[in-house]
Structure 1
């Protein structure tokens, strides 16, 4: 059965918007605590840069996810319209539909192959479609791979700053700036780790939902191909063999009919030959009777016999 419900896409988009709203709301209502968390010292400014980079990567991947979800939602809408037209036995269900839609491209591909009297390899078409959709996930996969690593990188950089402060403190124990560098570096290492983990949890969840949406869309494309597109085109290997078998059976029946007609003609010829022989016998008998009458009349009227012709 086809699952063409767009509720799943809408629900996921609402969840993404809810996460955006939650983050913005937390930053707005707890802006003093956030500012205190990222101290305004040099190390604190480094923490702002590192955590800002992590959030920027997270938001970049999330925005790309939103665009893909919207594209999949449009694909499902076109798919519903195509199935409705195909169910109504429209001659060309892809007419007036966007040419860039996946189902329209699949319909055109099958039509092109069928017009060339070549067998349609649905497995090859499905593999091509999957490869094309994989290319759409490059940025999302990249963000999903490096998001947690960006937190590790921020932790390493912050610990390096803390170690530099510790080294400076050992050279001048009375320098409080080095002490603040140590505290700020340790704080930044913790904040970048927490930020990366939280972002990764949300991103991984939406990434899995996006993969489920892609899988469902591709499955729907293949179902529509099997149920509505392929039956419209007879030029497959199986159908050609069936047509050849039907043609052979028809030729055998026609040959049997011709043989029967030939036998009938032979019987009719035999009867015709018998009729001709009978007619010749009758004509021969009639000819002798006429000569007898001719001689009787000549003798009755005492006519002279005709001289024989040269």
Structure 2
């Protein structure tokens, strides 16, 4: 587990940070509720400001909801990855996917490598990594799009508000005593400020957590690729370098075995020589023994004055 150069609970920490900042934001809203009401709700001559601000807020909430869903997804993926690494470290684990749901990214990577290994297909980690990055980039595409257009919605609100202000200025020019024209100008400028303010705040909030979402995604993919490179590739793929290294070790073992056989053969050859020498010595001793027995027989005959052939 310590060999992984990743943050094991980054998605959980990001969710806690999001909840904390959201709570602070809600507290600030209630603290300045009168100011917010006067800025967005009171003395509105047209509904343009509320419509634009409501649209910006709705787009922001959609992006934020999608960000939270993605963070919870990566929280489950990080849990699965941590469990998989624990199973790798556990020598008693019979199945590496014990306690891991089968649709997790690390589970799919493991099953893919098992299938490639069984079909005798070379494993290309670069291709697997590119496929994973492409698939996960789609998950954050909606958040990325909303993050890109949020600031533009503020610009749109500013343009619409300035158009309202210009209409009021036009009425003032046509009738110098037209009070409604001045009110429309003030309303347009106020709406421009409120829409720009709303868009900037939403953009800053969502943009920060979109960046954190990318960090969580990168952290998870990095962990999966580290596990693949350090644990799964050696398990399923035989590299040329490892084959040559093992073959060199086998040659060294064979050389040692041949040397031992040569020594044994030399020992057997020496033993043959000793056996031949012992056989010659035995033959000589038998001949000498026959001669000695013949001499004894002759002495006995001579001593007892016996006759006959020996």
Shorter-chain TM-score above 0.5:
yes
Map 1:87-236 to 2 at 5 A: 87-89=89-91, 90-234=93-237
Cα offset for 1:127? 0.1
Distance 1:114 1:239 in 2: 17
Per the alignment, residue 270 of structure 1 pairs with: none
Match of 1:14 among 9, 13, 16: 16
Distance 1:96 1:44 in 2: 58
1:27 aligns with 2:29: yes
Q: Which runs of 5+ in 1 are unaligned?
A: 253-310
Structure 1 residues 39 and 88, CA, compared in 2 at 3 Å: closer, same or farther? Answer: closer
Distance 1:41 1:171 in 2: 24
Residues 70-79 or 1-10, more deviating: 1-10
Q: Deviations over 1:227-282 (max 9, x none)?
A: 22122214566667778899999999xxxxxxxxxxxxxxxxxxxxxxxxxxxxxx
Give the SS at the match of 2:10.
helix
RMSD value, Cα: 2.8
Structure 1 residues 97 and 10, CA, compared in 2 at 3 Å: closer, same or farther? Answer: closer
Per the alignment, residue 275 of structure 2 pairs with: none
Distance 1:91 1:231 in 2: 18
Cα offset for 1:226? 1.2
Per the alignment, residue 59 of structure 1 pairs with: 61
Per the alignment, residue 39 of structure 2 pairs with: 37
Cα offset for 1:100? 1.1
Q: Which runs of 5+ in 2 are unaligned?
A: 256-310
Structure 1 residues 238 and 96, CA, compared in 2 at 3 Å: closer, same or farther? Answer: farther
Conserved? CA contact 1:162–1:185, under 8 Å? yes
Q: Deviations over 1:144-202 (max 9, x none)?
A: 10011111111011001111111122222222222211101011111111221122122
Structure 1 residues 28 and 40, CA, compared in 2 at 3 Å: closer, same or farther? Answer: same
Give the SS at the match of 2:72.
helix
1:78 aligns with 2:80: yes
Distance 1:241 1:173 in 2: 95
Cα offset for 1:208? 1.3
Per the alignment, residue 303 of structure 2 pairs with: none
> What number of residue pairs does the alignment pair up?
256
Give the SS at the match of 2:150.
helix
TM-score, normalising length: structure 2: 0.74
Structure 1 residues 204 and 24, CA, compared in 2 at 3 Å: closer, same or farther? Answer: same
